Structure 1
Amino acid sequence: MAWFDDLRGGLRAVSDGLAEFYAGPYRAALRRAARDEDDLFMMLVMGEALGVPNPASHHTLELLPVMYDRFHDWHRRMGMERSPVEGLSCC
């Protein structure tokens, strides 16, 4: 059954090569789209603290502790040198 394992390994290598060939050029675009979605989600969750009225604030309130960990990276990526939230000094 060694030939079967060799065949399986060869097919896996071809499959991995084809996946890289087709998905490789779009990897950066997909990563950028995921980052943009994360930025929008951060804005929705942190909106109340930033002064933007949020009609769903009672739903997003429980997500604040999770978002505080990523808040510094987010406001730096948005071009803000310091934290825009008065009570939150992450820098």
Structure 2
Amino acid sequence: MQSINWVQMYRQFQYLLKEFYTAPYRQELAREKRDQDDLFMLLVFSEMMGVPNPVSFYTLELLPLIYEDFHQWHQRMGMDQSPLEQIRCC
């Protein structure tokens, strides 16, 4: 008589549940990843060709909002001091 391998059965059940829930969205997630990669490629290529990024002008408006969180961010990233000379928070 064979013994039942519960660990293997649990892992198989876990795999099947994951497939059941993620399979319908796999194509949409792949499409979204492709769109993000295309946008990144466009930004990198335009920067390489010398075309200014129009988004940088609009991000200036966000600086006052993220200034308060900047100190916690650079500490989480492992930087003791602010990496930017323009922003002194320490």
Count residues with an aligned counterpart. Answer: 54
Distance in 2 between residues matched to 1:3 and 1:12, nearest whole Å: 16
The aligned residue for residue 19 of structure 2 is 20
The aligned residue for residue 72 of structure 1 is none
* Rg comparison, structure with higher value: 2
Distance in 2 between residues matched to 1:3 and 1:43, nearest whole Å: 57
Distance in 1 between residues matched to 2:17 and 2:47, nearest whole Å: 46
Unaligned runs of 5+ in 2: 57-90
Distance in 1 between residues matched to 2:36 and 2:25, nearest whole Å: 16
The aligned residue for residue 52 of structure 1 is 51
For residues 44-64 of structure 1, give each alpha carbon's deviation from its aligned partner in whole angstroms, at most 9, with x where no partner exists.
0001355632377xxxxxxxx
Distance in 2 between residues matched to 1:47 and 1:25, nearest whole Å: 35
Residue correspondence of structure 1 range 1-91 to structure 2 within 5 A? 3=3, 6-49=5-48, 52-54=51-53
Higher relative contact order (CA 8 A, sep 6+): 1
Distance in 2 between residues matched to 1:27 and 1:14, nearest whole Å: 19
**What is the root-mean-square deviation of aligned Cα atoms in Å?**
2.4
The one-letter code matched in structure 2 to 1:16 is Y
The one-letter code matched in structure 2 to 1:54 is N
Instruction: State the shift of 1:3 in Å.
Output: 4.7
Instruction: State the shift of 1:8 in Å.
Output: 0.2
Distance in 2 between residues matched to 1:31 and 1:50, nearest whole Å: 28
